[in-house]
Structure 1
Amino acid sequence: MSKKVVEVKTLKVGKYVIIGGEASKITSIQTSSPGKHGAAKARVEASGIFDGQKRNFVKPVDSKCDVPMIDKCLGQVLSIMGKNDVQLMDLETYETFDIPIPDELKGKLNEGSEVDYIMAMGKKKLMRIKG
């Protein structure tokens, strides 16, 4: 699991964070001003990259949190297996693997077409068709 540790105050909307062991994309950040005896707190809301589930946490802005290392890769479709899976070959390592087809790309994939996919925390997700 490749991740790095950053302070909560460095997080931005559109970036990624690990909440509950899942890589998530930040949708909103709200910060409260510090009180008389307390520190400022940040409420971070995010949606899971792989499952789409909404997650959130509240922490002081100077505390630490985990950020996943996300690899963006290029692959080629070798075969379409049924309606839900596709076999991809990474164009750098020539590794082949099966990956589920997201709903927005069903019916649009062809054998031999190039696609972008991401890898994070041992999981892979098909993002878009190149060209």
Structure 2
Amino acid sequence: MSKKVVEVKSLKVGKYVIIDDEPSKIMNISTSSPGKHGSAKARIEAIGIFDNQKRSIVKPVDAKIEIPIIDKRTAQVLAIMGDDVQLMDLETYETFETPIPEDLKDKIAEGSEVEYITTMGKNKLMRVK
């Protein structure tokens, strides 16, 4: 279980939300005032963590929405294989492969420590320590 349900009004810019089954980082939230017969609506604009796609969704502020549970971890680089890197988690010692982001291609080296996030069965490199 890597997600939980919260109310839309509790979301903040910089936090994460699930839109179209993709965990996304919230870039902007704008709310409209309630009308004569309706409730206030929130427009959430976010960018996907793994695919960098812009997404937006409009929901009533008292509606429920899913947010991903994101786990930040550290790992050691075992091998660099083209556009992918093989990592070993420093807590569980499990090894896995993940793609290297463009901004980290020149900074990453074998034997160095990196921070990565894992959510909904996917991993992403965030920074080199």
Both structures adopt the same fold (TM-score exceeding 0.5): yes
Structure 2: state its 5+ residue gaps. none
4+ residue segments displaced more than 6 Å: none
Using the TM superposition, give the Cα deviation of residue 2 of structure 1 relative to its aligned residue in structure 2, in angstroms. Answer: 1.1
Q: Return the TM-score normalized by structure 2.
A: 0.98
Question: Aligned partners of 2:18 and 2:106: how far apart in 1?
Answer: 32
| Aligned pairs (5 A) from 1:26-37 | 26-37=26-37
Q: Which amino acid aligns with 1:61?
A: V
Q: Secondary structure at the match of 1:38?
A: coil
Q: Which amino acid aligns with 1:49?
A: I
Question: Aligned partners of 2:35 and 2:106: how far apart in 1?
Answer: 54
Q: Which amino acid aligns with 1:28?
A: N
- 2:99 is matched with which residue? 100
Provide Cα deviations, 1:54-94, integer angstroms capped at 9, x if missing partner.
00100000000000000000000001112x01100000000
Q: Which amino acid aligns with 1:76?
A: Q
Structure 1: state its 5+ residue gaps. none
Superposed CA RMSD in Å reads: 0.6
Q: Do residues 2 (structure 1) and 13 (structure 2) align?
A: no
- 1:87 is matched with which residue? 86
Provide Cα deviations, 1:35-54, integer angstroms capped at 9, x if missing partner.
11110000000000000000
Provide Cα deviations, 1:89-129, integer angstroms capped at 9, x if missing partner.
00000000111000000121111100000001100000000
- 1:41 is matched with which residue? 41
Question: Aligned partners of 2:62 and 2:114: how far apart in 1?
Answer: 39
Q: How many residues align?
A: 129
- 1:112 is matched with which residue? 111
Q: Secondary structure at the match of 2:108?
A: coil
Q: Return the TM-score normalized by structure 1.
A: 0.97
